[in-house]
Amino acid sequence: MFEEVASTEQGDLVINIGPQHPATHGVLHLVITLNGETVKKVEPHLGYIHRSIEKMCESLSYRQFIYVTSRMDYLSSHINNHGCAMLVEKALQIEIPSRAQYIRVIMDELTRLASHQLWWGAMAMDIGALTPFFLAFREREMITDIMEETCGARLTMNYMVPGGIMYDIHPDFCKKVKEFIKHFRSKIDEYDELLTGNIIFQNRMKGIGILSKEDAISYGCSGPTARASGVSCDVRKIYPYEIYDQLKFDEVLATEGDSFARYQVRLVEMHQSMNIIEQLIDNIPEGEIQAKTKAVLKLPKGEFYTRIETARGEFGIYVVSEGGTTPYRIKFRSPGFSNLSALDHIVRGHKIGDMVAIMGTLDLVIPDIDR
Amino acid sequence: MFIKEYIKDVWGAISSLLKGMKLTGYYFMHHNKEAITEQYPDNRKTLKMADRFRGEVVMPHDENNEHACTGCTACELACPNGTIKIITKMEPTPEGKKKKAIDTFVYRLELCTMCNLCVEACPTGAIKMDQTFEHSVFDRRLLTKKLNKPDSKVREGVE
């Protein structure tokens, strides 16, 4: 686990990638020590998009702090909101109606699909293929349209409230989701045709950026990044919430731990998400969408922790309450931060061109890393 | 043996590239059918936003210039960013008593995150989300809006 800290010798080149660089997908600053074209060391510098969200939450009530979390990992904003709402429900022991549970899970999986689609396009663009980006956004547009119709916003929905969901699904929701699944099942084969089988892509992915199982665990990686190394860490399986324990789906695991494994895991996860939605979409029970809650929510004194599986990994919310209307301290465990910490270890010894490809497969969202 | 493997590799590489090129070629040839681009500023007249789309907070007034806002400040308390500020005044009623009513409903669009919590909190349904989305102006002051119209009153029976 302990590695010798690479020192800068004469002849080494220290360069900066970012904070304004298209390959870092946001304002991430990487200081890279190069020996020729080989990466010796990568130092991520954070802080360029720090908005002090955790501190801000301390002055917001338990209904208000949910909307802020959509600004962290904006690609899985639904799932972040879901986690926060779940924490409040757990602390106050609110039973939420089964209709709300079904809709929440469908929305989560749609968000996961949209996030993986965007990742697929952006990662291909990092490697140098531009067409996949447009194809991915074409399918993602259908999901954002569904979200817009039901939730009222395309990216920062704020649809989950403590006790259920904000309003009932749109009358066209089920029809449109079924249409989307049918459409996307035919289009995901195009993804394979265009990129997965491509010889240039495979040579740049296979055997590159290997993260072993032990390292994935010790760096605290989660989500598809860790599952590609063989770590069973899907919160939906090992610590089921809502109705995930009643659903039939597989935890996608790979053993290679290289870039291609991370790519494959995410593609198969898209199929799994579609399976989950198909199981639920015809069986949404009738009934209430919100449990009855008090107008002002007060959490009992104590500490609370909830975990949820976002598209990037395990997202944890830790709240210390002193019995008031606002949290005393709040801490978010974001998946991107831990996944980024493994970057230095993975990239060492690779060429600088591979570094961008490896970063693409880690699926980093910078506002999530730097709250 | 080596040559056989080598040729097999080369053939596999070329065929994988051709497969991808075929797909790209299909989209190139069928751009009329497959294009999904929206010509945004040109299609303004036909562009319709979803009913629930959250664009800005508005206060609907009826034909008698009456609204349903009682000035209870539930929305002001529910707002996470201090977007809403309600200034109240005391208004004499026909019976000679004084009653609380709104003087100005200040809405600052530049602070609003469209989280819909104010609309959820309103007990009388006085505010709602509008579907407008073209909010750019040349002066920042224009984004601070007064939602109640001049000389408007609370609708009869709204408590």
pLDDT band at residue A7, thresholds of 50, 70 and 90?
low
pLDDT band at residue A21, thresholds of 50, 70 and 90?
confident
Would the CB atoms of B23 and A166 count as touching at under 8 Å?
no
> What are the backbone angles phi and psi of residue B138, rounded to the nearest 5°?
-90, -20
Whether A72 has a pLDDT exceeding 60, the answer reads: yes
Rounded-to-integer distance, Cα A195 and Cα B91, Å? 70
Predicted model pTM: 0.89
- Which tokens is A273 given? 């998400």
Query: Pick from A65, A152, A193: which is nearest to B116 by CB?
Result: A152
* One-letter identity of residue B123: P
Residues of A in contact with B51 (CB under 8 A): 149
Q: What is the pLDDT of residues A176-229, one digit of tens each?
A: 999 999 999 888 888 888 888 888 888 888 888 888 889 889 998 998 999 999
Average the pLDDT over each of B5-9, B116-120, B155-159 and give the range with the smallest value: B155-159
Residues of A in contact with B54 (CB under 8 A): 152-153
> What are the backbone angles phi and psi of residue A86, rounded to the nearest 5°?
-65, -35
Whether B119 has a pLDDT exceeding 80, the answer reads: yes
Whether A256 has a pLDDT exceeding 90, the answer reads: no
> Which option is the CATH number for B56-154: 3.40.50.2300, 3.40.50.620, 3.30.70.3270, 3.40.50.1980?
3.30.70.3270
* pLDDT at res. A320: 92
Residues of B in contact with A170 (CB under 8 A): 50, 52
Q: Is B62 exposed, middle or buried (0-12, 13-18, 19+ CB in 10 A)?
A: exposed
- Second CATH level (architecture) for the domain A49-369: Orthogonal Bundle (1.10)
Whether B157 has a pLDDT exceeding 90, the answer reads: no
Residues of B in contact with A68 (CB under 8 A): 80
CA distances from A223 to A13, A72, A111, A217, B54 (A): 34, 17, 15, 11, 32
- The answer to whether the CB of A137 falls within 8 A of the CB of A118 is yes
Within 10 angstroms of residue A215's Cβ, the number of other Cβ atoms is 18
pLDDT band at residue A2, thresholds of 50, 70 and 90?
low
Residues of B in contact with A195 (CB under 8 A): 20
Q: What is the pLDDT of residues B44-58, one digit of tens each?
A: 888 888 888 888 888
Query: Pick from A138, A150, A152: which is nearest to B54 by CB?
Result: A152
Q: What residues of A are in the B interface, CB distance below 8 Å?
A: 60, 63-65, 67-68, 131, 138, 141, 145, 148-153, 156, 158, 161, 166-167, 170, 190, 193-195, 197-200
Average the pLDDT over each of A117-131, B50-64, B90-104 and give the range with the smallest value: B90-104
Give residue limits of the domains in chain A: 49-369
Query: Pick from B19, B50, B54: which is nearest to A197 by CB?
Result: B19
Mean pLDDT of chain B: 85
Would the CB atoms of B113 and A67 count as touching at under 8 Å?
yes
Would the CB atoms of B80 and A151 count as touching at under 8 Å?
no
Least Cα separation, residue A41 to chain B (angstroms): 33
* pLDDT at res. B138: 93
Residues of B in contact with A161 (CB under 8 A): 120
Q: What is the pLDDT of residues A216-247, one digit of tens each?
A: 899 989 989 999 998 888 888 888 888 888 88
Secondary structure of residue A76 in the 3-state scheme: helix
